[in-house]
Amino acid sequence: MRIVHVAPVWLPVSDQSHGGIETFLAELVAAQQELGHDVTLVAAGGSEVSVALIEAVPEALVPLMARGEADDYAYYEQELLAAAVDAGRDADVVHNHAVPGAIVLDRILHRTPVLHTLHGQITKDLCWSIGHTGRAVVGVSEFQRTAAASGGAELFGVVHNGIDMRRVPFSGSGGTGLLFLGRMEPQKAPDLAIAVARELGLPLTLAGPVTDRSFYERAVAPELGDGVDHVGVLGRNAKFEALGRSTALLVPSRWAEPFGMVSVEAMAAGTPVVALARGALPEVVDHGVTGQVVDTEAGLADAVRAAAILDRDVVRKTAWCRFHIATVAERYAEQYERLRAPSRA
């Protein structure tokens, strides 16, 4: 099957990327190529993938904007759309991960089926678009499907995100400290992670970019030291090394997570996840098997104690069965066949 993937141009697609979509896509296109598909990726310049690459823009927008060389994403997004149209005319299916920028592809590529994966939140606008046009939008969680239904829209299907488990080192012993992987902002709640670590008397490593400076200076920076460290953004190898030496990963999100990729990364390394029951997290983390999911902030400390005694080998094996990238690639192939079926024509 000839598959064209369309990626956002915020960041390069690479398994070393700091972006969740970009990291996932790098492994998905490789897995589909392994299955024998002819795969092309339309993405930002600088992307590092094993498949054919069409650079919609010479450089990703995040570094361009950081240097003051770009101001408005919309113009670059139009180049992405144009490149996707050109590549998609000869494809069997186009798979768009750049919603909403390329959501009109199915109206332009009349003869090529287009599947859209929504990696973010379900919005009223998206629900309107699905209901108005019948676009084939796949969610990454059942939580998203439920949210869409409450907005009067029906998703085409649900395919969980995944990771190449073969490339994740496994640690059967863990360590004595806790880890938080995420942006330094109120929604991700690094301050709650700090509070839990303090209550338990355990060291905590915070890893992630500062995206809300005011919040960081008020709620995080004053707590650093005495066992709490902020190490910034970790590369892939350093991230999995940190996971391997941690007792548990804390995911105390205050917002409804559409999926929660860091949880899968932790479980792939054999590290249990302790999370608040927000969004898709109860769906991703198997309570009592791969981690602990609790309803209240007050229950997080006890959840860490319970997670610490879970079998890390079982954590990894369970994650492998559910989230290995080869499984994800096969499930998307099923969605493509459904989309291309005569009844959809």
- The pLDDT tens digits of the residues spanning 137-170 come to 999 999 999 999 999 999 999 999 999 999 999 9
Q: Same structural domain for residues 111 and 174?
A: no
Distances (CA, A) of 7 to 27, 82, 272: 13, 13, 31
Average pLDDT over residues 261-268: 96
Q: Same structural domain for residues 181 and 285?
A: yes
Interatomic CA distance for residues 210 and 49, integer angstroms: 28
Q: Same structural domain for residues 147 and 194?
A: no
Interatomic CA distance for residues 165 and 172, integer angstroms: 15
Q: Same structural domain for residues 54 and 171?
A: no
pTM, to two decimals: 0.93
Q: Which of 32-46, 100-114, 316-330 has the lowest mean pLDDT?
A: 100-114
Q: Please give the tally of structural domains in the chain.
A: 2
pLDDT confidence of 344, banded at 50, 70, 90? low
CATH, residue 28? 3.40.50.2000
Q: Same structural domain for residues 262 and 125?
A: no
pLDDT beyond 80 at 72: yes
Q: Same structural domain for residues 99 and 143?
A: yes
pLDDT beyond 70 at 343: no
Please report, as a single letter, which amino acid is at residue 214: S
Residue-wise pLDDT tens digits, 277-310: 999 999 999 999 999 999 999 999 999 999 999 9
* Tokens representing residue 161 in the block: 């995100």
Work out the end-to-end distance of the chain between its first and last CA atoms, rounded to an integer number of angstroms.
Answer: 18
Q: What's the pLDDT at 42?
A: 97
Q: What's the pLDDT at 173?
A: 84
Please list the alpha-helical segments (H only) found in 54-163: 61-66, 73-88, 105-108, 124-133, 142-150
Q: Same structural domain for residues 126 and 17?
A: yes
Q: What's the pLDDT at 220?
A: 98
- The mean predicted confidence, pLDDT, of the chain is 94
Q: Same structural domain for residues 300 and 173?
A: yes
Q: Same structural domain for residues 156 and 190?
A: no
Sort 94 into a burial class: Cβ within 10 Å, 0-12 / 13-18 / 19+: buried
Residues 244, 270: contact at Cβ < 8 Å? yes
* Better-scored residue on pLDDT, 99 or 102: 102
pLDDT beyond 70 at 345: no
Residue-wise pLDDT tens digits, 1-48: 999 999 999 999 999 887 789 999 999 999 999 999 999 999 999 999
Domain hosting 172: range is 165-322
Q: Same structural domain for residues 240 and 108?
A: no
pLDDT beyond 70 at 195: yes
Q: Same structural domain for residues 145 and 192?
A: no
Q: Same structural domain for residues 147 and 175?
A: no
